[in-house]
Every structure is written in C-alpha cells, then in structure tokens.
Structure 1
Amino acid sequence: MAAHILRLRLALLVGTFRGHAGHVVRVVSALLILAAATVAACWALLTLKDASTEEVLAVTVLGGSAVTLGFALAPLFGSVEDPLDPRRFALFGLPRGSLALVLAVAGFLSVPILVLLAVAVCSAIVWADHGVPVIVGILSVLLGVLTCVLLARVCMALASLFLRDRRSRELSGVFVLVVLVVVVPVGVFLASLEWQGSVPPQLLEAVDWLALTPLGAAWALPGMLITGGDAWLSALIAVGTIVLLAMLWVWAVNRLLTTTERPGTGRERGGLGWFGVAPGTPGGAIAARSLVYWFGDRRYVVNGLVIPFAAAITVVPLLIAGVPPELVALVPVPFAALFLGWLPHDDVAYDSTAVWMHIASGVRGVSDRIGRLVPVLLVGVPLLAVAIPVATLLHGRWAVLPALTGVCAALFLSGLGLSSISSVVAPYAVSRPGESPFQQPQRTGANGAIAQGSVMAGALVVSAPVLWCGWLALQGDTDAADTALWAGLAIGLGVLVVGIGVGAIVFERRGGRLMEFAEST
C-alpha cells in the first residue's frame, strides 16, 4: 500500500508536465523561477559561514518561522484541491492508522518541501561550520521539515472539512490584507533598527521568543546549543509540536473517512463573491452586502478616498505654524482613525430602501449593527496597522508607538460604536444609489450636522484620557505610553460593545420609522 501511494504521488508530480503547450510552459517557467529562488536562498545562507552566531541565529529562526507559518496559512486560503485527500482512499478499506502514516510520508514528495529541505540542509552546513555537532544540525532539519509537512497536512484536512465552500478570490484578498498588516509594520520596524555590524537587541529578543514557539523551536535548536540558550526547551517544544500535529493528523484522517463530503456547488457558488465567503448567518449576509456596496458603490468609494486627503491637509497649517516636523508626522494617523470610525454614522441612509429587507425579515439588531461594521474594520485595521508604524518611523522615537496605537484604537473603535447608534437614532438624507456622490439632497432640519458632529465630538470626549496619556508619552513618559495603549483598547472596545448593543435595541424598536425614513428620502 505504501509503495503504491508513493508511486501515485510521483505520478501526480510528473503529470503536471502533461497538457497543452501553454500549461507546460507555465509549469516549466514557474519551476525555473522557483529553482532560481532556491539557489539564491541557498547561496545567501552559505555566505553566512563567516557571519557571527547571532546573525546566523536571527536569519534561520526568523526565516524558518516565516516559512513554517506559510505552510500553515497557504492550505487555509488557497483553493487548490488536495490530491492526497484521505477521502479518495475511503473505498479501499485501508487501516486508518497506516493510511495516515503513508499520506504523511507522501507529503514529503512535494516541490515546496523539497525546496525547504534544500535550504534547511544549507543552514545545517552553516551551523556545522560554527561548531554545532552534525547530528544536531540534522535533527534540526528533520524536526523543522517534519513540522512543516504535518502542519500542511493538518491544515489541508481542516480546510477540506470546514472551508471547502468558503474559499474564493475575496478570501484571498482578505489574506493579502492580513499579510499587509503583518509584513509592512515588521518591515518598517526592521528598517528602523540600527544595524552597526551586529544584530540589534530588539531583534534578538524576537528571536529568543520565537525559539520557544512551535514556529521557530526546531530552527533555533543549533543556535541555542552554542549560545548557551535553553536548547533542551526548544527541542522539547519542537518534539511536542510534532506529536501534537501527528495526533491532529490521525484525528483528521479518521474524521475525513467517517464524514460524508458536503456536495460542492461548483460554478454556481463561485459567482456569489462576498456572499460565498461570509458565514451563512443574518450578520454574515449583511456583512457581505455591505462589502459589495463599499467596494462597488461610488458614494462609499468617494467617502473612503476623502479620508487620506483630509488627514494630510492637517499637516499643512501645522508646518506653517512652526510645529516641529517630527510631531506633525504623528498627527494625520489619529485624524484618519477618527474619520474611519465616523464613516458608518449614516449607513442606514445609504442603504436607501434596501433596509426594508432587514426589518421585514425580522433580523436582529445585533446582526444588523455588526454586519454593517465589517467593511470599515476590513479597511480600517490594515490601513492603521500600516500607517501607525510608518508615522512612528517618521517621528523617530519608537517609544511613542504604544501611545499612538492606543490613541488610534480609542478614536477608531469608539467612533464605530457611536456610529452604530447615530445611524439609527438620527439618520439624514443622502444622495440616492446611482446619483453623484457630490450631489446632496436639500434638508429641512439640522439632523445631518448634529449627527456628524455628535459622533466626532463623542469619540474625542471618550478618548480624552487616552489623548492626555499620549501627550505625556510625547514628553518622554514611557509609563504613560503603556497606559495609553491599554486604556485606548479598553475604552475603544467598551464604547464599541455598548454602541452595538444600544444601536441594536434602537434598530429593533424603531424599525417602522426607519422604513418610513428610507421610503421618504
């Protein structure tokens, strides 16, 4: 059985070179690019033979942790079918334990794993030149590669069980945003470090932390052995991770073989866009519809594009007034956070007559309130995650990063909470769907100005303690920076939860008036 499955795996690899000429050209081109990247990575590692132990440790642990995380995330967000799905062998009555073992071994026969193995062997060679016993280097390679193989198998099985019908281009877009949230701040942070012929202490702290996690324990084992670190603890964590993943893999194989596969909807579901990604709940449906509007309705697009310009405009008068540039660099980001939280303050009015679907179908207010906030969170969180470290880098003092994060969190989240109330308590007429976003209807009252001003003023008032702590942090008080971070998160989340709750109650009680408002504007 084992030999037959391994031959099947090899046949599948060779089969990728079959097909029409265009397909073969694409496959060969991709393999050539991957081979060039592998050679470059191996060469870069081998050049570390003359580097210090700390530099080799930082490169191997950070790179190995990133690769391990990639093996976990790629199956969850990718839409590729698993050629070695255990369900394909369900009709043969094979022993489940043996099948799980053989499929895990077959997982080594893949292009990404072979590339990883080549790079890992180069890292073992480098560690051997630094005095690490060969057996320790080999053990590190085996533990690291085995972790990646089992992690990919487990995540592929989980995706097959729970995410089969939920992956699409939209979900891939979310993955890109997640990567953006992580990669850009990390890149800015690394660029800000002072590399003066040695590894910055901040980076060494990150390496020490990763060495005690399942992501980096296996890759850190050789370095920890010769630097006097907790090599035994890293080895224990690496082995424990493999044991846990092996248990999860056996459970996943048993679950796949005893669970009826959900029928796929093929092309029909592929055209649902965000509705094919969102959960099949009232809140998920509202979130999907809101996402369609936010990325397709020009009224929403214009509102979103105004934010960076409005935040940038604040810089000009401050510079003219003589405010130091390092302080001015911090100003646009809190303004952007405030405007992002303010955006959905009249979301019900932008819905026009479509709001009747929520009211007529008896949708709970909580589902309506949360669903409408999803697009803002999906845009605002990545935007702020990128803007905050960039602004801190321009400022020049990373000690203010916690304070700036807390201020932005308080303004953004409290704005969302107050907007959840404002959009149902005081909606005002806006341009209707299809009309120019710059064409505003005539209003007989001051509801619009009151609603807009109340949300902004309210967000500033509740965030006042955080703003004060942020100002103290600018004066050099490091304790105030930490206080601003935690106070900002607590105040922001608290106002958000309360705002959603109050908005939900008002939505359910004023459903008739909301329908009347939508029909009359």
Structure 2
Amino acid sequence: MVAHILRLRFDLLLGGLRGEPGHVMRVLLGLVVAAAAVLAAGWALLSLQGSADTTAMVVTVFAGSAVTTGFAVAPLIAGSADPLDPRRFALFGIAPGPLAASVALASLVSVPMIALVALVSCAAVMWGEHGVPVWVSVASAVISVVTCVLLARVGLASAALFLRERRSRELSGVFLVAVLVVVVPVGVFFASLEWRGTVPTQLAEASNVLALTPLGAAWALPAAFVSEDMNAWASTLIALATVLVLGLLWSWLVRRLLTTAERPVAVRERGGLGWFAVAPGTAAGAVAARSIIYWSRDRRYAVNVLIVPLAALLTTVPLTIAGVPPALVALVPVPIVALFFGWLPHNDLAYDSTAVWLHVVSGMRGVADRIGRLVPIFLVTVPTLAVGIPLAISLYGRWAVLPAMVGVSACLFLSGLGLSSISSALTPYAVSRPGDSPFQQPQRTGASGLFGQTFVMLGALAVSAPSLWWSWLAVTKDVSYAEPALWSGIGIGSAVLVVGVLVGGFTFTRRGESIMEFAQAG
C-alpha cells in the first residue's frame, strides 16, 4: 500500500510537467527559481562553517522557525486542493492509522519537501564543522522534516474540514492581517539592532526563546550541544513532544476525514455573502459579519478610526515642548491609541439606528450581540498595536520594556472594550444618522452620553492602574518590573472584558424594549 501511494505521488509530481507548452514553461520556470533559492540558502548555511557558534545558532534557529511557520500557514492561505486528501482513498478500505502513515510518507515526495531536505542537509554539514556529533545533526534534520511534514498535513486537513466552503477574499484578508501582525514587529526588531560585527544580545536571547518553542526546538538541537546558554534536554523534549502531538492530531484528522462526507464546493453560490460566508454560523458570527460590513462601509466608523492615531500623535507635541525626553515621549502614543480604541465601541449600538430591531426581535442572546460587535475593533486594533508597539520600543531604545508596553496596551484596550460593552447597552446616546455627516451631532432630550464616555474612559484607566504603575517602575527604576506589568495587564484586561461582556449582554437582554424606543426616537 505504501509503495502504491508513493508511486501515485511520483506520477502526480511528474504530471505537472505535462500539458500545454505555456503551462510546462511556467512550471519549469518556477522550478528554476525554487532551485536558485535553495542553492542560495544552502550556500548561506554552509558559509557559517567558520563563524562563531552563536552566529550559527541565531541564523539556524530563526531561519528554521520561519520555515516551520511557513509549512504551517501556507496550506491555510493557499486554498489549493490536496492531491493526497485521505478521502480520495476512502473506497480502498484502508484503516485510518496505516493510511495516515502512508500519506505522510508520500508527502515527502514534493518540491517543498525536497528543498527542505536539501536545507537541513546543509545545516547538518555546517554543524559538523562546529564539532556537533553526527547523530545529533541527523536527529535534528529528521525531526525538523517530520515536524514540517506533519504541520503541512494538519494544515491541509484542517482547511479541507473547516475552510473549504469559506475560502474567500475576506478570509485571505484576515490571513494577510495576521502575517502583518507577525512580520512588521519582527522587521522592526531586526532593524533596531546594533550589530557592530557580532550578534546582538537581544537576538541571541530571542533565539534562546525560540529554541524552547515547537517552531524552533528541532532546529536548535545542534546548537544546544555547543552553547552553554541553551538547554539541550529541554529542546529535545519539546521537539519530540511536538512530533508526538502533531502525529496524534494528524491521525485524528484522517479518521475524521474518512467519517465525514465531503461538502460540495459552492464558491459561486456563496460568493455574494462576503463576511457572512467567513464568519461562524452562530448568532455572534452573524453580528460580527454585519458589524464588519458596517465598519468597512460607513464613514462614521472610518472617521472615528482615523482620528484616534492622529489624536495620540498630537499628545507628543506638548510633551516635547515641556521638555520631556524624546525617548519617554515615544512611549506615550501607543497606550493612548489602545485606550481610545477600547473606548470607541462605548456607543456602538447607537450607530445601528433602527436596524438594531433585528437583534432585539430575533430573541438573540445579549452576550452574542456584545461579542459580535467587538470583532471589527479587534481586527483594527490588533494590527495597529502590533505595528505601533515595536516602533515605540525601537524609538525608546530598550527592548527590555516591551513586556510592560504590551501589558499596559492590552489592559487599556481590553478593559475599555469590557466597559464599552456595558455602556453601549446601558446608556446609548444620539449620533449622526446613517448617511449624514460624521461630524453632525443631533440634538435629543435625554441621555447626553457624558456618563457613558466618562465611565468607560476613567474606568479603563482605574483598572489599568496596577499595570501602569509596574510599567512606570520598569521605565524609571528596574526593567524587572516589566514582567509584572505584562501579566497584570493581560490578566486584569481579560477579566474586565469577560465581566463586561456578560454584564453588557444581560443589560442588552433586559433593556430590549428601551433600546427599541431609543432607536425609533432617532
């Protein structure tokens, strides 16, 4: 059976070189480009034979982690059909266990895997020149390849099960945002380092951290045997545990695929649903899709989003004039952005106008409404903070305070969202109607909105006081306070968010009639 699947895999691989001349030329051109890239990467690895152990470790761990991440993410983004989908073998009556092993083995016969094997071979040769035992280099190469194979198989199987009908430009946009969240901070981090002929200590510390993650543990095994700063046993256990977990997950997915009917591809029929085709088929998912459409098309939301970064940057002007050191001024805008983004949804319900009746008369749970309305602001804020925080820290010049900045920003943002979930259901106030100027404020007797605005703003600052205090100590006294600032900020912010969503959901359910009256009065 294994030989048969391998033979089929070879036939599929060679089949790519058949067809129209234009198709064959494109395939050959792609293979030439891939071969050139592999040769360049292999030469770069081999050139590290005479470098310091730390340099070889940093390059290998970072490059290997990036390659592993690519094998995990590519199947979810590409959206291409899996030629080795286990459901293609369902009619042969093969048991799930042997089928999972056979498909995983056949996955080695592919262009990306051949390139990966070439790279890990170059890395093994390079580490041999650094005095690493041969068996360690070989074990690292084998575990790295197996990890990448299993990650690719798990990604393809997950996409086949959960994303087949939901692949769309909206989902691709979400993946691109996720890539932005990862790539930009890493790029800023690298750009801010001072090399001076040696590997910066920050980079070495970051590689040590990656060596203790599933992404870099296998690649770090040779380095762990020549570096005193790395724990060889910890990296080995993490690498083996990663393979074990991925293997079990892959076996479970194969069993699930063989016992689940393949859903028909209905891209054309669902193409007009947009975000509703991407969001989960739940009440919260429907509200999230509707809210995302509002945020992307209603200029009232766009104005609010654009004003927040501008207002945060303007705060640096009086601080600079007052003589505050520029390094400290650089740390100010990002927490302000986080605070205002958490504050923005405090009157989100009012922007629905009379359309809020859909949520009330459908008997939707208030928690579902509260959760769904927070999705758009998460999609806006997370990339903004992912870009802003590294930039602020690079301008400040000391990456040790990064945890403190993350903790403060997370606390201000999450607690603001939690309190906004209560405010928008409890004290909505009049806003400009759909289609009107975003700067027009209608007059209405009743709630003026002052209570809700003040409650959310001051409340978020009050609950974030511990994280703010730890962060201030980290900046002015000892950077060891950055870690308490991180965990206190994430913990308090998450707790306030959960409580705020629950209380806001209860308030929305109880005040359904009053909310309808408010919407009709507009």
Alignment TM-score, normalising by the size of structure 1: 0.92
Distance change (3 Å), C-alpha of 1:52 and 1:236: same
Deviation readout 1:303-341 (Å, 9 max, x if unpaired): 111111111111122222222211211111111111101
| Aligned match of 2:485 | 484
- Can you give the 5+ residue segments of structure 1 that lack an aligned partner in the other structure? none
Distance change (3 Å), C-alpha of 1:506 and 1:394: same
Matches within 5 A, 1:77-92: 77-92=77-92
Deviation readout 1:455-513 (Å, 9 max, x if unpaired): 22332233334333333333223354333323322332232222222211211111112
| Aligned match of 2:314 | 313
| Aligned match of 1:448 | 449
Task: In structure 1, give the amino acid aligned to 2:137.
Answer: G
When structure 1 is superposed on structure 2, of 413-422 and 72-81 the one drifting more is 72-81
Q: Distance in 2 between matches of 1:122 and 1:232?
A: 24
When structure 1 is superposed on structure 2, of 275-284 and 490-499 the one drifting more is 490-499
When structure 1 is superposed on structure 2, of 387-396 and 450-459 the one drifting more is 450-459
| Aligned match of 1:34 | 34
Matches within 5 A, 1:94-133: 94-133=94-133
Does the alignment pair 1:170 with 2:170?
A: yes
Does the alignment pair 1:67 with 2:60?
A: no
Which secondary structure state, in structure 2, belongs to the residue aligned with residue 226 of structure 1?
A: coil
Which secondary structure state, in structure 2, belongs to the residue aligned with residue 195 of structure 1?
A: coil
Q: Distance in 2 between matches of 1:123 and 1:22?
A: 36
Q: Is the 8 A contact 1:79 1:168 kept in 2?
A: no
Task: In structure 1, give the amino acid aligned to 2:4.
Answer: H
When structure 1 is superposed on structure 2, of 401-410 and 510-519 the one drifting more is 401-410
Distance change (3 Å), C-alpha of 1:28 and 1:452: farther
When structure 1 is superposed on structure 2, of 441-450 and 510-519 the one drifting more is 441-450
Does the alignment pair 1:144 with 2:144?
A: yes
Question: What is the Cα-based RMSD across aligned positions, in Å?
Answer: 2.5
Q: Distance in 2 between matches of 1:453 and 1:322?
A: 30
Distance change (3 Å), C-alpha of 1:21 and 1:481: same
Distance change (3 Å), C-alpha of 1:448 and 1:31: farther
Q: How many Å apart are 1:293 and its aligned residue? A: 1.1
Deviation readout 1:351-398 (Å, 9 max, x if unpaired): 111110110000011010111011111211221122112112111233
Matches within 5 A, 1:379-394: 379-394=380-395
| Aligned match of 2:181 | 181
When structure 1 is superposed on structure 2, of 354-363 and 129-138 the one drifting more is 129-138
Q: Distance in 2 between matches of 1:45 and 1:221?
A: 16
Q: Distance in 1 between matches of 2:485 and 2:226?
A: 40
Q: How many Å apart are 1:176 and its aligned residue? A: 2.2
Percent identity over the alignment is: 63
Q: How many Å apart are 1:343 and its aligned residue? A: 0.9
Deviation readout 1:47-86 (Å, 9 max, x if unpaired): 2122111111121122112211221222234311111101
Distance change (3 Å), C-alpha of 1:256 and 1:442: same
Alignment TM-score, normalising by the size of structure 2: 0.92
Q: Is the 8 A contact 2:393 2:399 kept in 1?
A: yes
| Aligned match of 2:11 | 11
When structure 1 is superposed on structure 2, of 343-352 and 406-415 the one drifting more is 406-415
Task: In structure 2, give the amino acid aligned to 1:88.
Answer: R
| Aligned match of 1:361 | 362
Q: Distance in 2 between matches of 1:38 and 1:415?
A: 48
Task: In structure 1, give the amino acid aligned to 2:94.
Answer: L
Task: In structure 1, give the amino acid aligned to 2:338.
Answer: A
Q: Distance in 2 between matches of 1:423 and 1:236?
A: 49
Matches within 5 A, 1:293-308: 293-308=294-309
Q: Distance in 2 between matches of 1:47 and 1:76?
A: 34
Does the alignment pair 1:252 with 2:248?
A: no
Which secondary structure state, in structure 1, belongs to the residue aligned with residue 449 of structure 2?
A: helix
Q: Is the 8 A contact 1:287 1:375 kept in 2?
A: yes
Does the alignment pair 1:347 with 2:348?
A: yes
Which secondary structure state, in structure 2, belongs to the residue aligned with residue 447 of structure 1?
A: coil
Q: How many Å apart are 1:220 and its aligned residue? A: 1.9
Task: In structure 1, give the amino acid aligned to 2:76.
Answer: L
Q: How many Å apart are 1:163 and its aligned residue? A: 3.3
Q: Is the 8 A contact 1:42 1:122 kept in 2?
A: yes
- Can you give the 5+ residue segments of structure 2 that lack an aligned partner in the other structure? none
Q: Distance in 1 between matches of 2:407 and 2:231?
A: 34
Aligned length: 521
Task: In structure 1, give the amino acid aligned to 2:116.
Answer: L
Task: In structure 2, give the amino acid aligned to 1:61.
Answer: V
| Aligned match of 2:474 | 473
| Aligned match of 2:372 | 371
Q: Distance in 2 between matches of 1:306 and 1:28?
A: 50
When structure 1 is superposed on structure 2, of 7-16 and 228-237 the one drifting more is 228-237
| Aligned match of 1:222 | 222
| Aligned match of 1:285 | 286
| Aligned match of 1:333 | 334
When structure 1 is superposed on structure 2, of 347-356 and 420-429 the one drifting more is 420-429
Deviation readout 1:217-236 (Å, 9 max, x if unpaired): 32222222334655455445
Q: How many Å apart are 1:274 and its aligned residue? A: 1.6
Q: How many Å apart are 1:28 and its aligned residue? A: 4.3
Q: Distance in 1 between matches of 2:141 and 2:182?
A: 26
Q: Distance in 1 between matches of 2:167 and 2:158?
A: 13
Q: Distance in 2 between matches of 1:172 and 1:82?
A: 18
Distance change (3 Å), C-alpha of 1:276 and 1:107: same
Q: Is the 8 A contact 1:78 1:167 kept in 2?
A: no
Q: How many Å apart are 1:427 and its aligned residue? A: 1.4
Deviation readout 1:287-310 (Å, 9 max, x if unpaired): 111111112222211211111111
When structure 1 is superposed on structure 2, of 465-474 and 18-27 the one drifting more is 18-27
Distance change (3 Å), C-alpha of 1:467 and 1:93: closer
